[in-house]
Structure 1
């Protein structure tokens, strides 16, 4: 996909801070360097020139360890109904090697001037105001690299880790995730293991955000019963609009709302479209349907965006991060005023992160 050219209007303000991207995966799979990201890329969804053009202020940069056998198939997910098999669990040593590569890649992006690794909400706000680099929260998607004694969790927290998802759909020592399946309720199996419940308490102690995205219904309920922080799904949508296993039911949304948490709307076409098909021929009116449903449960302070850039098939009207002005225009046409626009763009993320991290 070639870089999108943003429209002249509306302006690329307020900057959008985003709950999830997979830029590291693109770097890992395609040999992309930090300098390439600074100069600009011919494909993918994120680089620094396009971020500046589209008002993409940054977000949660995921470190994800791919399975040796790739079971993800967008062709299968374009069918009327599907249930993709989950990969086998990963060995801890293999996961740790790739996770450390992820930390090194994101630190290289910081050294090259593409982003700033942020450890506080105030640091994020300052980088957004600066507007020359992306603000980055270090996030691990699937905690296979964490050891049972949590020494590595401590080490990674000291290195900047501030957000963690116990699973990426495939099972881990910590719990079970949801399959990529449609139409399927997310109540698909067991919740957190005993070790997983201890992991949540350790994240609370270190003030690391716990991401509910990819957990199944019982796992979400387990986190809700344990955690003393706002409940957050960084990149998920409303199951009532699109009954995909990756999306959140009204019961789950009610739990998140009661905790003062939030949800980042995922741009992946298969999690947006009511028919569940991974097909990028989808208008932004569907995003507005998810927005309205989420606000109904979470209020105007509980919704943001979690694009899944560089990890999913994105609606054509957006295309990549340079196309975010199209999203702002659709929001404005939907009746979103300046105050709510600022909350959706980044204000709600800053609120939740202040409550989670302190300060």
Structure 2
């Protein structure tokens, strides 16, 4: 038994969006000093052993009205770029005012140092590349500013790909794959050593990336389609492809992606989350599974409540039979390893 809490490095959170949209008091202060709303702030992260993670920049929907194809509307590139810069600045401000308690990490070595020092290790991630035009100029500038991981799409079309709509029950085989601009984006991400996130890709887009990308295939916050037939979840064939490239799956805590009945019920047991972790570990190996909570972006099991409740999940995993060495891999080592292999030394 470990005598100290196992640190968790998490594959996905939407805390920047929550802070930006929350209104009221200074969002930096709300994060650093804590609040009741949402899932993550610094005090709750420390209480639960959340040592860091990929901090998503996601551009809100211009409207909740879907188009004739049933797709959510896509923001303009200009609007998306403005919002992306605003959320990136928010993260930079959090780091600047944290007195060392938050560190923006640009390498795996940065993450390791931050975890060792007890500083929240934040990685800049873009969820849906609407801020980037087909010329990719913004991609290169954002990389210089600290961008290290990117999902080409959220669940809506853009100039790069279609994105998988939210459907249950449904296969992820919905719509076309990468556009010519999308293929250029993947090649540029490989050149810059930006991790490409597959979590909102549809089936065609997934396989287009698998053909092009020279990096490990990673889905930062996705679950098992065989256990929950939601369009956002990964098929066994996709899991096998992730294994073949030495990639990774971060298990999403969202109840919609855990349950086999498609019901959005916060009373969902943590045992269902453990079931998805175990399935991936059994099928593609303990080195290929990690956590991708989707904190502040989805409804999670009430038993956990927020980041402070992470020890409850770790205990549930331990009860299932995962050893402390395996838990260390699931909670942080696998993420640091795949990022190091993607980013380089």
The TM tier, using the shorter chain, reads over 0.9
Q: Which residue of 2 aligns with 1:303?
A: 289
Correspondence list, 1:164-243, <5 A: 164-243=150-229
In 1: Cα distance, 2:32 partner to 2:49 partner: 15
Q: Is the 8 A contact 1:262 1:298 kept in 2?
A: no
1:54 to 37, 48, 53: 48
Q: Which residue of 1 aligns with 2:7?
A: 15
SS, match of residue 181 in structure 1:
coil
In 1: Cα distance, 2:304 partner to 2:33 partner: 21
Q: Which residue of 2 aligns with 1:95?
A: 80
Q: Is the 8 A contact 2:223 2:258 kept in 1?
A: yes
Q: Which residue of 1 aligns with 2:17?
A: 25
Q: 1:53 to 1:218 in 2, by over 3 A?
A: same
Deviation, structure 1 residue 121: 0.5
1:39 to 26, 33, 48: 33
RMSD after superposition: 1.5
Q: Is the 8 A contact 1:169 1:179 kept in 2?
A: yes
Q: Which residue of 2 aligns with 1:129?
A: 116
Q: Is the 8 A contact 1:95 1:145 kept in 2?
A: yes
Per-residue displacement from partner, 1:35-72 (whole Å, max 9, x unpaired)?
11111111100011111100001100000001121369
Per-residue displacement from partner, 1:266-292 (whole Å, max 9, x unpaired)?
000100111121211111111121112
Q: Is the 8 A contact 1:10 1:325 kept in 2?
A: no
In 2: Cα distance, 1:181 partner to 1:12 partner: 41
In 2: Cα distance, 1:292 partner to 1:154 partner: 38
Q: Is the 8 A contact 2:9 2:51 kept in 1?
A: yes
Q: Which residue of 2 aligns with 1:76?
A: none
In 1: Cα distance, 2:204 partner to 2:239 partner: 14
Q: Is the 8 A contact 2:78 2:131 kept in 1?
A: yes
Q: Which residue of 2 aligns with 1:66?
A: 60
Q: Is the 8 A contact 2:14 2:294 kept in 1?
A: yes
In 1: Cα distance, 2:285 partner to 2:2 partner: 25
TM-score, normalising length: structure 2: 0.96
Correspondence list, 1:294-333, <5 A: 294-333=280-319
Per-residue displacement from partner, 1:119-138 (whole Å, max 9, x unpaired)?
0111101111111x310110
Confirm whether residue 282 of structure 1 aligns to residue 268 of structure 2: yes
In 1: Cα distance, 2:249 partner to 2:108 partner: 17
Q: Which residue of 1 aligns with 2:105?
A: 118
In 1: Cα distance, 2:87 partner to 2:33 partner: 20
In 1: Cα distance, 2:110 partner to 2:231 partner: 35
SS, match of residue 187 in structure 1:
coil
Deviation, structure 1 residue 90: 1.8
Larger displacement relative to structure 2 (336-345 or 85-94): 85-94
Confirm whether residue 343 of structure 1 aligns to residue 329 of structure 2: yes
In 2: Cα distance, 1:56 partner to 1:71 partner: 36
Unpaired segments ≥5 residues, structure 1: 1-8, 73-83
Q: Is the 8 A contact 2:62 2:74 kept in 1?
A: no
Larger displacement relative to structure 2 (204-213 or 115-124): 115-124
Q: Is the 8 A contact 1:12 1:54 kept in 2?
A: no
Q: 1:327 to 1:154 in 2, by over 3 A?
A: same
